[in-house]
Amino acid sequence: MAERLAIRLPDSLIAERDGAIAVLRLNRPQKRNALDDETIIGIEHFFTSLPDGIGAVVMAGEGEHFSAGLDLSELEERDVAQGIAHSGLWHRAFEKIQFGKVPVVAVLHGAVVGGGLELAAAAHVRVAERSAYYALPEGSRGIYVGGGGSVRLPRLIGVARMMDMMLTGRTYSAEEGERIGLTTYLADPGKGFAKGRELAQRIADNAPLTNFAVMQALPRIAEMDPQGGYAVEAIMSAIAQADPDAKTRLKDFLEKRAPKVTRS
């Protein structure tokens, strides 16, 4: 049974706890869950204030869309220094998702556009209902991505595809997103949250130190030169397997108290 989390957040966000799973919902359906500064600050606060015992987060949107991106009604004239500071606000918030305390599963439907796609890209797993569509309309609006999209999205879909999306306004469906690397799991309409919740529970059941290694070490190793990557991998592997939780899990497997991997 889900219950409200005791984290002070703006009305544009709803936070709940369901056992070891925390759920964060974007709650501006009348604005297609467009992201204003108050919401971004709230997202950062949520991910830095998770209570003990949370093993994974599900992030979703209320209404018909995940997020249509930056709330353009709040876009004001800024000088260069102010613009850099504003982008830094988004960078800090989304950094707390990608390199935060626990893995995050984003459940996507409807618009996953602009800053909404940048937000989704910061998650570790993305479940997209078939209604979801991806777009980066910044080129037609005379602006540029500012929430880390230049860093995260090319790693998912490649520079050429991101350039095409921004230059031509091309959109990708949830199915096309699965092919190019945006959609991790595809779900039927109305089934995305249940799938995201199932995956989050599976993640929360992992050894915490293994989840930490996957979140914190893996993406950094991938950016290293091979020799440096091998060294960090060996160190992280040794630390993980020396953890008491890992030793218990391995003993359970060897003594046939844990299930074997099978094709699901």
Active-site entry in 118, 175, 178, 255: 118
CA dihedral 38, 43, 48, 49 (to 10 degrees): 80
Q: Using CA of residue 150, residue 108, residue 168, residue 158, what is the dihedral sign? A: positive
Tokens, residue 131: 């209604």
CA dihedral 94, 92, 144, 76 (to 10 degrees): 120
Catalytic: 129?
A: no
Does residue 201 contact residue 56 with C-beta atoms inside 8 Å? yes
Tokens, residue 251: 């003993």
Catalytic: 16?
A: no
Active-site entry in 44, 138, 198, 233: 138
Strand ranges inside 62-140, DSSP E = 104-108, 111-113, 125-129, 133-135
Residue whose pair of structure tokens reads 């500071």 in the numeric block: 85
Sheet hosting strand 172-173, strand order edge to edge: 111-113, 133-135, 172-173
Q: Which residues are catalytic?
A: 118, 138
